[in-house]
Amino acid sequence: MLIPRKIDLQKLEELLAQFPVTAILGPRQCGKTTLARQLAVDHFFDLENPRDLARLENPQLALEDLQGLIVIDEIQRSPELFPLLRYLTDTRSEQRYLILGSASRDLIKQSSESLAGRIAYYHLSGFRVDDVGGDHTRQLWLRGGFPRSYLADTDETSNRWRESFISTFLERDIPQLGFDIPASTLRRFWTMLSHYHGQLMNYAEFARSFGVSDMTVRRYIDLLEGTFMVRVLQPWHVNIGKRLVKSPKVYLKDAGIFHSLQSIETAEQLLSHNKLGASWEGFALECACQAIGESDRELYFWRTHAGAEVDLFWQNKGQNWGLECKFADAPRPTKSMRNAIADLELEHLWVVYPGGERYKIAEKATALPLSEMIAGQL
Read off the pLDDT of residues 19-39 as tens digits, 9 standing for 90 and up.
999 999 899 999 999 999 999
* Amino acid identity, position 377: Q
Q: What is the pLDDT of residue 268?
A: 97
Return the CATH number at 37.
Answer: 3.40.50.300
Q: Last residue of some domain: 99, 123, 147?
A: 123
Same domain, 61 and 202: no
Task: Give the DSSP letter string of 217-270.
Answer: HHHHHHHHHHTTSEEEEPBP---SSS-B--S-EEEES-HHHHHHHTT--SHHHH
377 inside domain: no
237 inside domain: yes
Distance of CA 19 to the CA centre of its chain: 23
1 inside domain: no
* Rounded Cα gap, residues 197 and 155, in angstroms: 22
Domain count, the chain: 2
Same domain, 180 and 46: no
* Rounded Cα gap, residues 363 and 154, in angstroms: 44
Same domain, 119 and 143: no
* Rounded Cα gap, residues 74 and 26, in angstroms: 11
Compute the average pLDDT of residues 358-373: 93
Q: Range with the lowest mean pLDDT among 236-240, 268-272, 322-326, 359-363?
A: 236-240
Label residue 373 by pLDDT band (50, 70, 90): confident
Q: Last residue of some domain: 123, 158, 181?
A: 123
Q: What is the pLDDT of residues 274-316, one digit of tens each?
A: 999 999 999 999 999 999 987 667 999 998 877 788 999 999 9
* Rounded Cα gap, residues 339 and 242, in angstroms: 11
Same domain, 73 and 208: no
Q: Last residue of some domain: 89, 107, 123?
A: 123
Same domain, 180 and 253: yes
Distances (CA, A) of 83 to 252, 335, 343: 34, 54, 47
* Rounded Cα gap, residues 192 and 294, in angstroms: 27
Residue 368 half-sphere exposure toward CB, CA atoms < 13 A = 23
Label residue 243 by pLDDT band (50, 70, 90): low
The values of phi and psi at residue 123, to 5°, are: -90, 120
Same domain, 75 and 136: no
Same domain, 180 and 106: no
| Residue 333 pLDDT exceeds 60 | yes
24 inside domain: yes
Q: What is the pLDDT of residues 36-85, one digit of tens each?
A: 999 999 999 999 899 999 999 999 999 999 999 999 998 888 888 999 99
* Rounded Cα gap, residues 67 and 93, in angstroms: 9
- Which residues constitute the domain of residue 217? 129-372
Q: What is the pLDDT of residue 80?
A: 87
Q: What is the pLDDT of residue 118?
A: 92
Same domain, 115 and 234: no
Number of helices (H) and strands (E) in the chain: give both, helices first: 18, 14
Same domain, 103 and 217: no
Same domain, 139 and 119: no
284 inside domain: yes
